[in-house]
Amino acid sequence: MVSQQGTAGPDQGDTAPFLRALAGETLPTPPIWLMRQAGRYLPEYRELRARAGSFLDLCYTPEFATEVTLQPIRRYGFDAAILFSDILVVPHALGQDVRFVEGEGPRLDPVTTLAQFDRLKPEIDLGFLSPVYETVARARAALSPETALIGFCGAPYTVATYMVAGRGGDEQAPARLLAYGEPETFQVLIDRLVEASAAHLVAQLQAGAQAVQIFDSWSGDLPPAEFERWSTKPIAAICERVRARVPGAPIIAFARGAGAKFGAFAHAVPANGFGLATAEDRVAARAAAPAGAALQGNVDPLALMAGGPALDAAVDACLRDLGSGPFILNLGHGVRQHTPPEHVAQLVARARRTG
């Protein structure tokens, strides 16, 4: 499909609804996309994944990664596609060994000392990630102008938890112990991740991504002072670096589980939009957010899995609480693996009032 030139200004009516919401517009029907909208709950993903080999092979093969990026758009007509990749390609492109163990998740060779940090590359190897940027370009060329393309990275704190522990899940303790025991050492790692993440986002925007999301999946557990130092400040620094290179780049910051820290976060981070996790109080978040900021969220992924009247009620409650301001409908975290695909169609129809 040939797309029209993407030169529409932010206030022109033909801009993708997702980008209009991020620019601060309140739309009668919210734009919709879902975190982890491509993935194992989709039979067409599982089929391609089996052919591709490992998860990282899938991420680094543009033909396959583009196809997976587009699968949920074809099926559901979401308002935005998200690049199919992973937050751990950044440590991989810094020279850390990263692999995904079937049924267990990511494994990395842990780095915990300055000497180990110095054995990584001083700067992110963008050439190593060229298949990712090629995927962005291919996906953008295949999408219609109404469907926006989102690039992303992990926030420095979340990525650091994997780099330090060598694994994910509930293993944030090693990074937090390092941050308490040797804050200057941990700061070195965070600062390097700020530069690497900003460079990775800029490369995605230059390849055709129209907005970027920064995922901080684990910072919500930090006490307020640590949250400000390790989550808010590094994310704000990434926004500033990206905007210096790509003026006006639309950014969504998702500090999952920020809770009572959300207002301070949203005022300190110069993003256009803020993701809300499942347990956030939506009305309190709107009151705490800067005027004009778009809010994104936060249907419970388990309501999506349940389907039926509970899912309709969850979608309706989100629209009621957030629909009167700039708003993007999403989940509060990613789509779960065993979610029935028809429940996703139900969510879209309910939000668009077509079903």
Q: Is 36 annotated as a binding residue?
A: yes
**353 has catalytic annotation:** no
Shortest Å, Cβ 155 to ligand CP3: 9
Shortest Å, Cβ 114 to ligand CP3: 25
Length of the chain: 355
Q: What dihedral do alpha carbons 322, 308, 35, 220 form, nearest 10°?
A: 70
Return the number of the residue (21 or 68) whose C-beta is nearest ligand CP3.
68
Q: Which residues bind ligand CP3 (CB under 6 A)?
A: 35-40, 49, 55, 82, 84-88, 100, 105-106, 152, 154, 158, 168, 215, 217, 334
Residue 105's φ and ψ, nearest 5 degrees, are: 105, -165
**133 has catalytic annotation:** no
Q: Is 96 annotated as a binding residue?
A: no
Q: Is 86 annotated as a binding residue?
A: yes
Rounded CA-CA distance 253/236 in Å is 9
Question: Left (φ > 0), alpha (ψ -120 to 50) or beta: where does 169 sit?
Answer: left
Return the number of the residue (171 or 182) whose C-beta is nearest ligand CP3.
171
Q: Is 40 annotated as a binding residue?
A: yes
Rounded CA-CA distance 302/277 in Å is 13
Q: Is 275 annotated as a binding residue?
A: no
Taking alpha carbons only, the member of 86, 82, 83, 84 closest to residue 18 is: 82
Shortest Å, Cβ 152 to ligand CP3: 5
Rounded CA-CA distance 66/335 in Å is 19
Three-class secondary structure of residue 128 per DSSP: coil
**Tokens 């709107």 appear where?**
286
Rounded CA-CA distance 157/229 in Å is 10
**119 has catalytic annotation:** no
Shortest Å, Cβ 210 to ligand CP3: 15
Return the number of the residue (19 or 82) whose C-beta is nearest ligand CP3.
82
Return the number of the residue (169 or 290) whose C-beta is nearest ligand CP3.
169
Rounded CA-CA distance 125/133 in Å is 12
**192 has catalytic annotation:** no
Q: Is 37 annotated as a binding residue?
A: yes
User: What proportions of the chain, in percent to the nearest 5, are helix, strand and coil?
Assistant: 50, 15, 35
Q: What angle do CA 248, 254, 256 make, to 5 degrees?
A: 170
End-to-end CA distance of the chain: 28
> Is residue 141 within 8 Å of residue 3, measured between CB atoms?
yes
How many CA atoms does the CB half-sphere of 316 hold within 13 Å?
A: 8
Shortest Å, Cβ 188 to ligand CP3: 22
Shortest Å, Cβ 205 to ligand CP3: 16
Of the residues 20, 41, 49, 76, only one is catalytic, namely 49
Task: List the structure tokens of 335.
Answer: 């789509």
Which residue has its beta carbon closest to ligand CP3?
Answer: 217
Return the number of the residue (331 or 351) whose C-beta is nearest ligand CP3.
331
Q: Is 312 annotated as a binding residue?
A: no
Return the number of the residue (36 or 245) whose C-beta is nearest ligand CP3.
36
Of the residues 86, 216, 300, 321, only one is catalytic, namely 86
**49 has catalytic annotation:** yes
Longest dimension (CA), the chain: 58
**Tokens 């079937």 appear where?**
102
Active centre residues (catalytic): 36, 40, 49, 86, 162
- Binding residues for substrate, as ranges, are 36-40, 86, 162, 217, 333
